[in-house]
Structure 1
């Protein structure tokens, strides 16, 4: 299933305010809990546990927080462009300003790793990153991500 089928313009938030990594993960958990059908704390715990394994920052200002959770019936994704870059423990030490959240049903293992790979591939091109940072609307972001799938 392509990114475009999981991440639409309604899943894009531009100029998201946050005070740091912990605040960002809490806000993400709160925002997606109703759609995921899970308690906010369960999502936050899963994201935090994943970050303890190693930062999900990909470098070049991009982070990909992700987790597999039981009790979900379908994947949930969000794209956020942060109002201000934040420290995210990236290997390249660059602050993060682009975030793609991927939550995946534990029972549906198939598709999780290909989706993460697809997201990484779509964000490999520096021109795509530049255009994501300059996009004026959620529709532009969704279109850019869809184009990056090709």
Structure 2
């Protein structure tokens, strides 16, 4: 299953309000908790534990916070575009305004690393990043992500 298949328009949040990395992670944990029926504090703790290992900023204003959650359940992928970019401790010192959150159940280990890898590849193209920043609707974001995922899948087929 493609990463774009895991981001339905209901999991796309445009103009998310956050003033810092901390408040961004809190907002993402709240969004994910609502969709997963899990504790916001459990999700936030998992994200903070992962960030303690090193920033999940990818550069070019993009972050990929991710964590494995105990137990079974469905993976969830959320896309958020921030109203205003925040400092995310990125290596390139660029503030982050595009975020893809990946939460994966520990009991379903298969697919976690491929999902992260596919997401990274889909978000590496400057043209796709410009389109995501300019998108007027959740449907437009989904379309850009689908095209980016399809392009990276095609590149993988050529390898």
- The 8 Å contact of residues 37 and 72 in structure 1, kept in 2 or not, is answered as no
Task: Indicate the structure with greater helix content.
Answer: 2
Q: TM-score when scaled to structure 2?
A: 0.92
- Within 2, Cα distance between the matches of 1:34 and 1:71? 17
Q: RMSD over aligned Cα, in angstroms?
A: 0.9
- Within 2, Cα distance between the matches of 1:30 and 1:15? 15
Q: Specify the SS of the correspondent of 1:148.
A: helix
Aligned equivalent of 2:102: 102
- Within 1, Cα distance between the matches of 2:74 and 2:148? 23
Aligned equivalent of 2:22: 22
**Gaps in structure 1 of 5+ consecutive residues:** none
Aligned equivalent of 1:121: 121
- The 8 Å contact of residues 14 and 83 in structure 2, kept in 1 or not, is answered as yes
Aligned equivalent of 1:70: 70
- Within 1, Cα distance between the matches of 2:72 and 2:78? 16
- Within 2, Cα distance between the matches of 1:87 and 1:34? 26
Correspondence 1:49 to 2:10? no
- The 8 Å contact of residues 66 and 102 in structure 1, kept in 2 or not, is answered as yes
Q: Count residues in correspondence.
A: 150
Deviating above 4 A after TM superposition, structure 1's stretches of 4 or more consecutive aligned residues are none
Correspondence 1:4 to 2:4? yes
Which digits, 9 at most, give the CA deviation of each residue in 1:35-90, with x for residues without a partner?
A: 22321111000000000000000000000000000134101111010000000000
Q: Specify the SS of the correspondent of 1:107.
A: helix
